[in-house]
């Protein structure tokens, strides 16, 4: 029977008569909705946030860098918070958060709760794909048993796969369609169905032998980045003591045409991937009596960076005869990376918290984030982005460059600010006002 179901679903996908459901309409789910809409599929977007649902149904985007024109042009698209409609779709793609808890352990509650919901509506012949980043084994060992509470068996009655997201918000050169898509299936037939699905929206599908392997691929990609960023962050602190500019060193080193890839230091890690995903493997490794020392050391260094920036700011203010207590500080950039409106896990929140704990009065400017968003870790307040004018810059005792947005003019900032702590190497020329951190 599973053979017939497998062939039937592939035929529906190939003829684009399959109905696609995407759970979680954020930075990962929304591009998928757009891609399948653009390819001509009937798409349903599921989310518990009614505001997102209503905005999409009105043809409005809540993520600035994502163009939702294909959704508006797809008369078959519908966003909903009614999860009973999961029974109406042929494919269910899970794109929900996988954060860490306060003990830096994986919080799988979003994935497993979603699995519980799906199990209530799961029917024979459907494909379920997890895209949320998890530890190796999570799809088979944790999600599958939850889905099978439906009474259906994975690989027999329904198909199960894992395909890690590879989104890079704000990157205009790469989008879902031209980034190769890694896919692992619970069984060979599960893999074949998932390959058929993604081949309709991406240029290249990269099949691997299992869901565990696909899960490990995503972790390797982000651990690679985390470790290398930690390396340059450590070198930044060392070279600062030695009177060497780390950004000048990197620019010269990257002229080598082989054996070197440039990574850049900053005030700490941000985003939903690099600062979080490595700890999923660290946690899982304990099950095998294994210590992931490189990952943990990189985490220690990257987690320390906001404290380093605060200390450099205190020292810079002291040289000006100003105490951190009562000092007015402006953070330039709230987003975790340049030219996006994504503030998830941004080091700016930790910097804000540390400065305020020491008695400083902190404001921020970010052209992409007009209001301070709510986060899981930090208490929301009523802060709004301060207009970036010469008059405003001159009011602050110190301006801390947290995000190097393209709209930030280094010359304008240097001209009007009293003191600048630059964590991103935005200001290239030496100036007595500027302290690199």
What's the count of helices (H) and strands (E) in the chain, helices before strands? 14, 13
Number of Cβ within 10 Å of residue 379's Cβ equals 9
Give the whole-angstrom CA distance, residue 80 versus residue 56.
9
Residues in the chain: 437
The DSSP-derived string for 267-321 is SS--SSSTTTHHHHHHHHHGGGT---HHHHHHHHHHHHHHHHHHHHHHHHHHHTT
Give the whole-angstrom CA distance, residue 157 versus residue 154.
6
**What residues are paired with 28 via a beta bridge?**
none
**Annotated catalytic sites, by residue?**
273
The DSSP-derived string for 367-430 is TT-SBPPP-SSS-----BPPP--HHHHHH-SEEEE-S--TT--HHHHHHH-S-EEESS----S-
Find the radius of gyration of the CA atoms of the chain. Answer: 24
CB 148 within 8 A of CB 115: no
Where b means 16+ CB within 10 Å and e means fewer, 403-437 reads: bbbeebebeebbebbebbbbbbbbbeeeeebbbbb
Task: Report the first-to-last Cα separation within the chain, whole angstroms.
Answer: 63
């Amino acid at each position: 029977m599973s053979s017939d179901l497998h062939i039937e679903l592939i035929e529906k996908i190939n003829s684009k008569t399959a109905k696609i459901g995407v759970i979680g309409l954020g930075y990962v789910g929304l591009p998928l909705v757009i891609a399948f809409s653009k390819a001509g599929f009937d798409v349903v977007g599921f989310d518990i946030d009614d505001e997102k649902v209503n905005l999409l149904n009105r043809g409005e985007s809540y993520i600035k860098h994502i163009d939702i024109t294909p959704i508006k042009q797809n008369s078959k698209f519908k966003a909903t918070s009614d999860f009973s409609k999961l029974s109406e779709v042929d494919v269910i793609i899970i794109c929900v958060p996988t954060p860490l808890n306060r003990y830096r352990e994986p919080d799988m509650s979003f994935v497993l709760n979603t699995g519980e919901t799906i199990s209530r509506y799961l029917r024979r012949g459907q494909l379920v794909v997890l895209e949320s980043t998890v530890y190796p084994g999570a799809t088979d060992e944790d999600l599958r048993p939850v889905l099978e509470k439906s009474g259906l068996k994975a690989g027999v009655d329904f198909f199960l796969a894992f395909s890690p997201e590879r989104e890079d918000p704000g990157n205009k050169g790469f989008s879902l369609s031209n980034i190769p898509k890694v896919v692992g299936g619970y069984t060979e037939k599960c893999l074949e169905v998932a390959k058929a699905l993604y081949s309709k929206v991406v240029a290249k599908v990269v099949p691997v032998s299992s869901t565990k392997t696909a899960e490990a691929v995503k972790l390797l990609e982000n651990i690679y980045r985390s470790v290398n960023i930690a390396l340059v962050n450590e070198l930044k602190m060392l070279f600062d003591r030695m009177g060497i500019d780390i950004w000048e060193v990197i620019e010269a080193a990257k002229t080598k045409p082989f054996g070197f890839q440039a990574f850049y230091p900053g005030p700490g890690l941000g985003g939903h991937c690099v600062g979080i995903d490595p700890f999923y493997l660290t946690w899982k490794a304990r099950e095998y009596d294994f210590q992931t020392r490189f990952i943990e050391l990189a985490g220690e260094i990257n987690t320390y960076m906001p404290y380093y920036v605060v200390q450099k700011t205190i020292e810079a203010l002291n040289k000006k005869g100003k105490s951190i207590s009562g000092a007015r500080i402006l953070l330039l950039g709230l987003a975790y990376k340049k030219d996006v409106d994504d503030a998830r896990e941004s080091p700016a929140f930790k910097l804000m918290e540390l400065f305020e704990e020491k008695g400083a009065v902190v404001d921020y400017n970010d052209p992409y984030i007009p209001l301070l968003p709510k986060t899981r870790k930090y208490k929301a307040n009523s802060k709004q982005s301060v207009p970036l004018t010469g008059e405003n810059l001159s009011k602050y005792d110190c301006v801390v460059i947290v995000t190097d947005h393209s709209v930030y003019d280094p010359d304008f900032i240097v001209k009007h600010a009293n003191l600048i702590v630059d964590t991103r190497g935005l200001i290239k020329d030496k100036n007595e006002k500027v302290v690199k951190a």
